[in-house]
Amino acid sequence: MTDTQKELRRLIAAELNEIPGGTYHRTAPPDAAYPYKVYALERMSIGERGRQDYSLVVDVWDRSGDTKHAERITDMITQKLQEELLPQDKILPYFYFDNGYPVPDSDRELTHYQLHFLVQTYLKED
């Protein structure tokens, strides 16, 4: 993992931690309390010179039997990261919301939403 990816993961976790529910990278533990968020960050391309592009996927899970709670959390995430520039020490990441949708599950008590973002990350020159 590159320093850029490490810094991005720290930033994303910090931003998601400001929203209700636990935050986990890639997978939640089996005993995770609902609601919770799981995110994955994947490098897409180098982009233009001095920029790295990433795909960010955030899954929101809830087991309240009511979709409104999970919908509020997805709205909060989208509002927080939609077209947001979050300057850091060595990188300038710019978040773009791509799409989001409910993911069907056979368990009717479980609500699952998935959000997709593009993260264009500009590297600061020393």
Supply the pLDDT for residue 47: 60
Supply the pLDDT for residue 45: 73
- The per-residue pLDDT for range 70-99, each reduced to its tens digit, is 999 999 999 999 988 888 888 999 999 999
CA-nearest of 87, 82, 98, 92 to 121 is: 92
User: Would you mind telling me the total number of residues written for the chain in this entry?
Assistant: 126
Supply the pLDDT for residue 51: 87
pLDDT averaged over the chain?
A: 92
Token match 């710019």: residue?
Answer: 94
By DSSP bridging, strand 36-45 and strand 22-25 are: parallel
Supply the pLDDT for residue 121: 92
Query: Which DSSP string corresponds to 35-100?
Result: SEEEEEEEEEE--STTEEEEEEEEEEEE-SS-HHHHHHHHHHHHHHHTTEE---SSEEEEEEEEEE
Contact criterion met (CB below 8 Å) for 38 and 24: yes
Q: Flag residues of the chain having pLDDT under 70.
A: 46-48, 126
